[in-house]
Structure 1
């Protein structure tokens, strides 16, 4: 005779404080499609459900124990103080003991409990998600991706056929769970696009593995698995149950957080996150796979919603879960669209506000922000905030280095535009030849071009440069002497260039709002703001 399922024979008994070797608060039960989490006050205990979804197999006690141990090991990479131990659940069916002596009937991962209000998903729901949160996520994820292990070429991880398998599995799981003909047709359309995109990008996927972009990642990095704990951004609950879903392209990992932010209506923060991550990693090549992974990740979340619906016996919840799936399908459908991209290049002296405005515009317009100060340093092996100790006109700022930097910016911009993403190139662009190279890109990519001409008085320029130097937190190494060299060597915009220019007085308090409104209208012609 089969024993009753865990949710009826064990979980209710663990809501009693007598089951624990320590004092508890009122015990709260959280549930996902694969786990139960018991919040006891000081500690939280995570128990794996005895389920087998193919991509995940917790069907036996030994498999659940192994995955508990893996969860402990893997999450300690970025949450060492949060993950404490794997403990047995002992005792008998009437009186279970968490961490007791004797034969284990189940296992749990013991964690330090944290305030659930610190979850980034909860912060988002409460309207508390901030730019500091996003910058912290970008910083911790870029460092983690840099430090985590890289898949060797002999491993099965990250092969194009493996990537295709997991995309195909989404469709195999989702279609039988749909009962609406229009949703099935939409899924088939997404399936066709995914197969075609894979076919076009399989060679790049293989190249990414050779280049070392397949790494042992988190694997399930969305806002519900990131928390603010003691003012530190802390990822947790990585994928332990299937290494094929953990050893992935770093671009796939970033796509998950990006997609989740857009799903939650935080589009500007999504673009801020992406640009901050790219500034720190330089992985602009990964943008060629971003749409593929965004569709994949949206459908992963849609699949999880439908699997949860299968486990929910309350009919009143079915409509809301269906709506959740449809929202993810909407998002996947949106990401297969490739609107005409826009290329914005800046023009102006150091201190004119180029980078400040470019960053904000990239967030509001949904564009990639390429900053020359950062890319120049990257080319010569320096971190964004690192001092190069270069003299004015020397070191990495000599003529040859400048030409190499602009060539790199042009090549990167061309590649990004070809993938259908808009780009804001943030550089001084004081030479007509520099501008001409980027203007020519619009003929190759059918991008819409605007030149943003930033202006401020020389007094303001010097004050901003001095203030920036004192803070010491900006990639720019401009000084008043460098500013003077720029003024002396500037080649003003030509008349044809002015016809595609918006001039911005950055000392005007409404400058950004006016600039953003002008760009949104896509008006061509000289405008004074």
Structure 2
């Protein structure tokens, strides 16, 4: 196979892609859109963090994009095609695996199946069709993806994070003043470098524990597709620079939560974080996400500045890019969303089988808060499926007192991570002794936040019916009628708590109504309206 460079203006794009009805240009690609296909051609550019000036570099990037892209959208990436000129001067495109040895390859393109624009998350959001359940689906897909992704201790090292932050400031040194005052630039530098110094031990520990992975690197709404059948596909990961693609999962997640915030939906951003933390058992993201959102907003401001300053950009696009860059810089300076709602601890407690988890979820969804439950925590610590029964072999010891102590300690530790970020948390469990409840009170006091213990009550006959229903199918809870008497005998009502931190709730009422009572008792404005 022979290769030959040709000036982009000499390549007959319309002849090579006759089915294309639209062409879009980014700072690094030409994208040719046909009704059912997409072809992406890398531009011959050098931005420092990527260098596509040689055909060989673009070939490597195209192959990498297909291989990496298939991790999150296996049916969308069809392959790589070569753009070929034959001996007679005719142009054609050929799948690289079908190239003849003497073919003259002038350029290459990624070949993709075109997904419906209406499925794109940013389009759904703009049209009011991105639902909380859509966000939940994305969080679940990301938790599974990061869970199976290649681990990389090196790129999780805080020295690499520092290098990325340095590079951002270095590459925007001459342009950042177009958008921020000198005082704001200094404030942004102090925040990012100061927080990075504080977080460095945590980042290093997380890298050693497997929380740094080969991820996506450009996780924005416009790259997320959700179809009506429930499938989530995520396109356009960073293929050209491993350092951008790899790192702590919080960095990738923060890109998406930052994008939601940029578009005015911080309620969905918080919900994304909460549902991801629950699915992955990674509540450490809360200490990191504000820093990484600031960093990611700076990245987007930099990219928009590149677009503004690119040759051939008309005045309208230049102005639009400048306005987007300004907004990203302001978001980078805002240093997170802590403070949009006051942090608190709500504990939904009471005997087993009364519906605590349903009420806890309804409350948490109003604030974009995570639910930290003893049942899922126990199963995560034991490494079993969320609905695996633990009362029988081979898990007979799963409810031993020592194991239960470890579970409650872990629930409190996870809640501590959330509160340390200035955010609210909802915990869900029996908390059937004064000692366990006192630990909750002390946790809230340590963070100086409001604490409300919800004590659920339920008619015994209705409770028995609910417990029997649990035996009819899989459940995260192991509560069953046979073990209720022994647990009830050991349960201590929360009589030691004063009325200002305790709310008794009839769990026979509609969970949404009970959630509203709890919200009213808290006296803290929710982030979101009642969520279905």
Shorter chain as normaliser: what TM range?
A: 0.7 to 0.9
Q: Which residue of 2 aligns with 1:321?
A: 321
Deviation of the 1:342 alpha carbon:
1.6
Q: Which residue of 2 aligns with 1:209?
A: 207
Q: Which residue of 1 aligns with 2:41?
A: 47
Q: Which residue of 1 aligns with 2:93?
A: 98
Contact 2:277 2:285 in 1 (8 A): no
| Residues 497, 32 of structure 1: alpha-carbon distance in 2 compared, 3 angstrom cutoff | farther
Distance across 1 between alignment mates of 2:461 and 2:497: 30
Pairing of 1:154-233 with structure 2 (within 5 A): 156-180=154-178, 182-228=180-226, 231-233=230-232
Deviation of the 1:377 alpha carbon:
1.1
Pairing of 1:224-373 with structure 2 (within 5 A): 224-228=222-226, 231-311=230-310, 313-336=313-336, 338-339=338-339, 341-373=343-375
Q: Which residue of 1 aligns with 2:109?
A: 108
Pairing of 1:62-141 with structure 2 (within 5 A): 62-91=56-85, 96-99=91-94, 102-141=103-142
- Residue by residue over 1:494-527, the C-alpha shift from the partner in whole angstroms, topping out at 9 and shown as x without a partner, is 25433212333340563323432442448xxxxx
Distance across 1 between alignment mates of 2:336 and 2:135: 25
- Residue by residue over 1:139-187, the C-alpha shift from the partner in whole angstroms, topping out at 9 and shown as x without a partner, is 22222212121125xxx42221111111222223334224547444323
Contact 1:178 1:184 in 2 (8 A): no
Q: Which residue of 1 aligns with 2:522?
A: 519
Q: Secondary structure at the match of 1:316?
A: helix
Contact 2:29 2:43 in 1 (8 A): yes
| Residues 273, 419 of structure 1: alpha-carbon distance in 2 compared, 3 angstrom cutoff | closer
| Residues 107, 184 of structure 1: alpha-carbon distance in 2 compared, 3 angstrom cutoff | farther
| Residues 206, 282 of structure 1: alpha-carbon distance in 2 compared, 3 angstrom cutoff | same
Q: Which residue of 1 aligns with 2:16?
A: 19
Question: Bigger relative contact order, structure 1 or 2, given CA contacts below 8 A and separation 6+?
Answer: 2
Task: Count matched residues.
Answer: 508
Distance across 2 between alignment mates of 1:291 and 1:521: 22
- Residue by residue over 1:254-304, the C-alpha shift from the partner in whole angstroms, topping out at 9 and shown as x without a partner, is 222222222233333333322222222212233322222121122222222
Distance across 2 between alignment mates of 1:263 and 1:463: 47
Deviation of the 1:52 alpha carbon:
1.6
Distance across 1 between alignment mates of 2:332 and 2:466: 43
Cα-Cα RMSD = 2.9
Deviation of the 1:469 alpha carbon:
4.6
| Residues 356, 301 of structure 1: alpha-carbon distance in 2 compared, 3 angstrom cutoff | farther
- Residue by residue over 1:284-339, the C-alpha shift from the partner in whole angstroms, topping out at 9 and shown as x without a partner, is 23332222212112222222222222237222344433332333233333335654
| Residues 336, 131 of structure 1: alpha-carbon distance in 2 compared, 3 angstrom cutoff | closer
Contact 1:267 1:363 in 2 (8 A): no
Structure 1 spans left out of the alignment, 5+ residues: 523-529
Distance across 1 between alignment mates of 2:363 and 2:332: 24
Contact 2:46 2:52 in 1 (8 A): yes
Q: Which residue of 2 aligns with 1:525?
A: none
241-250 or 308-317: which moved more? 308-317
Contact 2:434 2:496 in 1 (8 A): no
- Residue by residue over 1:64-104, the C-alpha shift from the partner in whole angstroms, topping out at 9 and shown as x without a partner, is 11111111221122322221221111238996433387312
Give the TM-score, by structure 1 length.
0.87
